[in-house]
Copies of this chain bind each other. A is one copy, B any other.
Amino acid sequence: MATIYDVARLAGVSAATVSRVLNGHVKVDPTLAERVMAAVSQLGYRRNAVARNLRTSRTSLWAVIISDVQNPFFTSMVRGIEDVASSAGYSVVLCNSDENPDKESSYIAAALSEQMAGVVISPSSNQVDDVNLLLEAGCPVVVIDRELDNVTADTVLVDNEHGAELATTHLVEQGNTRIACITGPQWLSSATQRFDGYARALSKAGQSVDETLVRYADFREQGGYDAMASLLDDGPAPDAVFATNNLMTIGAMECLVQRGLSVPDDVAIVGFDSIPWADLIRPTLTTVAQPTYEVGRRAAQLLTKRAESPDAEPERVVLPTSLQVRASSTR
């Protein structure tokens, strides 16, 4: 592998000049620059980023640590990040923590020891101490989708409580009186906030939360399925269900379909998060839509801002959600 010294020798200049040509921004005699470029292409020289990173103690890589690559919500958000990153000269690498604190921890360690230029993370719980390691190391961090209790960092969220309230109110207005809630882990703010919205809507409607109609699942398809099954098997069935993320909504639907129950006639259903090809599913699904691309874009923008002014006050961006009424909830 050729180094700048090889290039320098071939071009008849010093290594410093090669470096200057390669990095631009410093005046170099055009003739020399041309000789350097010729030598570069003749040798097929490629800069060794590792050495450069060591010297400058920064890379041009952003790590995006997401909790589930199989969830379309996150992959769609990634597009928003990538677009900002590439126009700011960064490359994005995705790390899949799989909702597993150990994997998450090891990816944070990697981001740290590889000196990543920035990290966007959807944490696996509301208490991820490792994020403070990044902050202490001066690595710009933006937290997305879920809030951290013990960390003050730039954060991009959606209006979970409001979205959930809209969804639940809609179910109330359709005449449902036994509205169940399949929510996510209690250690995730996205789950608790959505549950709070559900509770608030019920309360406003003069209904109270019936704990026998609440299930805590894991934001995955199977979890939604199992929760729905449990709702049907234990005690009198609900007449409606609010599921707090896309995959659990799918799981719940699958359970209902498999039991031969009719949606929305036997059980109405509303989900949180969009669902790909929702219009092919029968009945079509009423959901609370999130601006996924925008979440990614804003997160990336905050990351670039943070890199420029490390000591600025952290920002907390909350984006709006909206209820998309379709067939699964209307009688």
**Interface residue ranges, A against B (CB under 8 Å):** 1, 46-51, 53-54, 57, 59, 61, 63, 69-70, 72, 75-76, 78-79, 82, 86, 91-96, 98, 103, 106-107, 109-110, 112-115, 133, 137, 221, 250, 253-254, 257, 276-277, 279-282
A59-B114, A96-B82, A114-B61 known; A221-B50 Cβ under 8 A: no
- Within the complex, the shortest CB–CB distance from A277 to chain B, in Å, comes to 5
**A114 touching B75, Cβ below 8 Å:** no
Other A-B pairs beyond A46-B112, A50-B54, A93-B94, 12, CB < 8 Å: A46-B113, A49-B114, A50-B113, A69-B94, A70-B76, A75-B75, A82-B96, A92-B95, A92-B96, A250-B276, A253-B277, A254-B279
Query: Could you say which residues of chain B place their CB within 8 Å of the CB of A94?
Result: 69, 93-96
Chain B residues positioned under 8 Å from A137 (CB to CB): 1
* Chain B residue at minimum C-beta to C-beta distance from A277: B250
- Complex CA gap A69/B46 in Å reads 28
* Residues of B contacting A63 in the complex (Cβ-Cβ under 8 angstroms): 93
16 pairs across A/B with beta carbons < 8 Å? A1-B137, A46-B112, A51-B54, A61-B110, A63-B93, A69-B94, A86-B103, A91-B107, A92-B96, A93-B95, A94-B94, A253-B280, A254-B277, A254-B279, A257-B280, A281-B281
Tell me whether A113 and B48 are in contact (CB under 8 A): yes
Residues of B within 8 A of A79 (CB): 70
- For residue A57, which residues in chain B have a CB less than 8 angstroms away from its CB? 50
Residues in B with CB closer than 8 Å to A250 are 276-277, 280
Contact for A95 among B72, B91, B115, CB less than 8 A: B91
How distant is the Cα of A46 from the Cα of B331 in the complex, in angstroms?
59
- The docked-state distance in angstroms from the alpha carbon of A1 to that of B289 is 43
**In the assembly, what is the distance between CA of A92 and CA of B109, in Å?**
13
Q: A59 CA to B137 CA in the complex, in Å?
A: 21
Chain B nearest CB, measured from A110 CB (Å):
5
Contact A50 B279 (CB under 8 A): no
Give the residue name and chain of the B residue nearest to A107 (CB): B91
Q: Which of A59, A107, A276 has the most CB of B within 10 A?
A: A276
Contact partners of A281 in chain B: CB under 8 A: 277, 280-282
List 4 A-B pairs, minimum CB-CB distance, nearest first. A49-B113, A93-B93, A94-B94, A282-B282
When distances are taken between beta carbons in the complex, the residues of chain B under 8 Å from A51 are 54
Q: Is the pair A114, B277 in contact by a Cβ cutoff of 8 Å?
A: no
Q: Once the chains are docked, how many angstroms separate the CA of A254 from the CA of B76?
A: 20
Q: Which residues of B contact A48 (CB under 8 A)?
A: 54, 113, 115
Closest approach, in angstroms, between the C-beta of A19 and any C-beta of chain B? 15
**Which residue from chain B places its CB closest to the CB of A71 in the assembled complex?**
B75
User: Of B49, B112, B282, which contacts A110 at CB under 8 A?
Assistant: B49
Q: Output the residue of A103, A113, A279 with the most chain B CB within 10 A.
A: A113
Query: How far in angstroms is the closest Cβ of chain B from A90?
Result: 10
A54 CB contacts on chain B under 8 angstroms: 48, 50-51, 54
Q: Which residues from chain B contact A82 at a C-beta distance below 8 Å?
A: 96, 98
